[in-house]
C-alpha cells in the first residue's frame, strides 16, 4: 500500500500494526515503544476529530497508552489490533463525553487542523500552479472538516484520512455499514457545499 508520511510523523495510509504488534508481544522493546507512540498519536488525532478538544485528547492518549500496554502481550490476532485500538479510543472519548468533562473545552484550533502535509516538499515534476491549487484545497478541506458535525467528522476521519474500510469503520463506531455510507455521503455533500461557497 502506498504511504505518505506527514511532517508530524502521522500516516495517511494505515501503518503495518500487525508486524509491530507481533514484535512487541514477543518482547521487542523498540517495537513496543513505537506501538505505544502510534497508539497515542492515533488517540490524539481521533480525539480531536471526534471531540475537537485538545485537553481531552491528552487524557484519551493516556488511556490508549495504558490499555495498549496492558493488552499487547495478550493479543491473539495482531491483524485485529488496529480496529481494537480505534474502538478503545472511541470508547474513551465516549466516556469523557458522558461524564461531561469535555465541556467547556478548548476548541480545535485552526493550526491543529492545518493539513498534515502542507509543508511537505513539492514534487519538482509537478506543475507549480497545480501544486498551489492542491495546497489551497487541502487548507479549505481542513476548514470544511472542522465545520462538520462530530458524527460525520469521525466517519470522514476513519474512512478518508485513516483509510479504514466501511466494515472496519462500522465495527469501530458500532453502527451498520449502511449507516457509515450514509454519514460519509452526507459529510461529503456538506463539505462540497462549504468548498463551493
Partner 1 sequence: MTRSRAHTCRACAELLVDYVKGELSPSRCRSIERHLTDCAGCAKFQSELRREIAACRAHGGPSMPAAARRRAQQRIRRIMDGALRSQ
Binding residues (CB under 8 A) for partner 1: these are 4, 6-12, 29, 32-33, 36-37, 40-41, 44-45, 48-49, 54, 57-58, 61-62, 65-66, 69, 108, 111-117, 134, 137-138, 141-142, 145, 156-157, 160-163, 166, 181, 184-185, 188-189, 191-192, 195-196
Residue 4 or 26 having the CB closest to partner 1: 4
Complex with partner 1: residue 77 or 197, whichever CB lies closer:
197
Q: Which is nearer to partner 1, 22 or 188 (CB)?
A: 188
- E-assigned strands of 27-151? none
Q: How far is the CB of 79 from partner 1 (least distance, A)?
A: 22
Report how far apart the first and last C-alpha atoms of the chain are (Å, whole number): 35
Closest separation in Å from C-beta 155 to partner 1: 11
**CB-CB contact of 40 with 65 (8 Å):** yes
Least distance (Å) from partner 1 to the CB of residue 95?
Answer: 19
According to DSSP, the residues that pair with 129 across neighbouring strands are none
- Measured on CA atoms in the order 152, 157, 163, 164, is the torsion positive or negative? negative
Nearer to partner 1, 26 or 77 (CB): 26
| 3-state DSSP assignment of residue 118 | coil
- Give the Cα separation of 185 and 172 in Å (integer): 18
56 and 93 Cβ atoms separated by less than 8 Å: yes
**Among residues 85 and 191, whose Cβ is nearest to partner 1?**
191
Q: How far is the CB of 129 from partner 1 (least distance, A)?
A: 15
Contact of 38 with 20, CB cutoff 8 Å: yes
Amino acid at each position: 500500500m502506498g504511504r505518505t508520511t506527514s511532517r508530524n510523523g502521522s500516516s495517511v495510509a494505515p501503518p503495518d500494526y500487525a508486524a509491530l504488534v507481533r514484535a512487541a508481544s514477543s518482547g521487542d522493546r523498540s517495537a513496543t515503544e513505537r506501538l505505544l507512540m502510534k497508539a497515542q498519536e492515533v488517540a490524539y488525532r481521533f480525539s480531536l476529530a471526534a471531540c475537537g478538544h485538545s485537553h481531552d485528547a491528552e487524557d484519551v492518549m493516556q488511556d490508549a497508552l495504558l490499555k495498549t500496554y496492558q493488552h499487547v502481550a495478550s493479543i491473539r490476532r495482531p491483524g485485529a489490533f488496529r480496529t481494537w485500538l480505534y474502538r478503545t479510543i472511541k470508547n474513551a472519548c465516549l466516556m469523557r463525553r458522558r461524564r461531561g468533562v469535555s465541556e467547556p473545552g478548548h476548541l480545535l484550533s485552526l493550526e491543529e487542523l492545518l493539513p498534515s502535509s502542507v509543508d511537505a516538499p513539492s514534487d519538482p515534476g509537478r506543475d507549480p500552479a497545480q501544486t498551489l491549487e492542491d495546497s489551497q484545497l487541502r487548507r479549505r478541506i481542513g476548514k470544511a472538516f472542522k465545520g462538520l458535525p462530530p458524527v460525520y467528522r469521525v466517519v470522514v476521519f476513519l474512512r478518508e484520512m485513516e483509510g479504514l474500510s466501511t466494515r472496519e469503520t462500522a465495527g469501530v463506531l458500532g453502527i451498520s455499514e449502511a449507516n457509515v455510507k450514509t454519514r460519509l455521503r452526507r459529510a461529503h455533500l456538506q463539505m462540497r457545499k462549504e468548498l463551493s461557497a
